[in-house]
Structure 1
């Protein structure tokens, strides 16, 4: 059972992350100090460091929260998957895109992406395991269709999921980094890429 103290600590942690989100979105990661974040969250600097030992640790927590929110968006599709594999995979990645648009300011997405591939994050290695949680959810959905014969049996659900995840990466990244790609255009491009990829994964001698 969660104690009152634990609930208060969780609430304060969320408030600090909210403050960091607001400031980094407005100023950028490098221009935002821990002192700035403490002031925005209305906590002492010592208290902030008690929650997050460094700005890098705080950024890791922001990235974790972002992944958690994306997984929550995808869980709706996992629990009630469409009958068709293309529609199902498109629904999953559209849910990610919709959640991204609703919850995450574009500037913060750009900052997270830039820092995630910086030296501080071992050029992407430190965030790979976090991002693979999304790939794992994609695999879970693919296992549903694989078991129903909608995917060729000589391809594993893991292989099919990786192909689908690769197929949507560019459209989703172009939208996230604000390269002039709208949400609807990104979702349409993802669906088309998935359709092409899954046509190649259709059972031999049949269709999806």
Structure 2
């Protein structure tokens, strides 16, 4: 019972923070406001998180974990053509990316992880990226077992190149307020298609 209450409080904190950050911007929201919206005390938030930045990374974590869960459907039954399978996975990543977070929130999270890479926040952000990257590598490994990609391809190296290329396009998308999700999806699709063609 106590563990369920703890999980429920944490979820309320993260969901309240996501709503407030989207509406008022990361810098415009105080911990006190998050606590009020979540129906908890400020002390309770600090029992869970060291800083407002950690709360933001928790929102990122919620986003990424939902994306990874949705991405497992592609790994379960990937399209026969390798480029289509990669496209399907990246389509999930990109379309879900603004479900909880705005572009401004992503920029704040990225900048904090770059400025403080050795902080708890910075390390956690890096771990989330690694989980996504590993999912791409697992997809390629499955495609290789199915014979959809050549046996000579190093799935770990190729998966990391594909993920890093997609991730750079996502960063450009986040930086440009005017860029819509369809534009970045099409750019990533063209890049992935070229990569998979080069890979044989």
- For Structure 1 versus Structure 2, the TM-score category normalised by the shorter chain is 0.7 to 0.9
Cα shift readout 1:65-118 (whole Å, capped 9, x = no counterpart)? 222122122112111211110000000000111111334333322222222222
The 3 A distance-change label for structure 1 pair 93 and 59 is same
Task: Give 1 or 2 for the bigger CA radius of gyration.
Answer: 1
TM-score by length of 1: 0.84
Asked if the contact 1:174–1:180 (Cα under 8 Å) also holds between the matched residues in 2, the reply is no
Match in the other structure for 1:33: 30
1:84 alignment counterpart? 81
User: Structure 2-normalised TM-score?
Assistant: 0.87
Q: Which runs of 5+ in 2 are unaligned?
A: none
- 2:185 match: 187
Task: Please give the alpha-carbon distance, in whole angstroms, between the structure 1 residues aligned to 2:175 and 2:60.
Answer: 15
Helix, strand or coil for the counterpart of 2:27?
A: coil
The answer as to whether partners of 1:89 and 1:194 remain within 8 angstroms in 2 is yes
Deviations 1:185-208 (A, max 9, x none): 111111110110011111xxxxxx
CA spacing shift, 1:94–1:75, aligned 2, 3 Å? same
Deviates more, 1:26-35 or 1:187-196: 26-35
* Unaligned residue ranges in structure 1 (runs of 5+): 203-208
3-state SS, counterpart of residue 83 of structure 1:
coil
**Corresponding residue of 1:170:** 168
Number of residue pairs matched by the alignment: 198
Counterparts of 1:33-182 in structure 2 under 5 Å?
33-119=30-116, 126=123, 127-182=125-180
Question: Per the alignment, do residues 54 and 26 of structure 1 end up closer, same or farther by CA in structure 2, a change over 3 Å counting?
Answer: same
Distance 1:33 1:186 in 2: 32
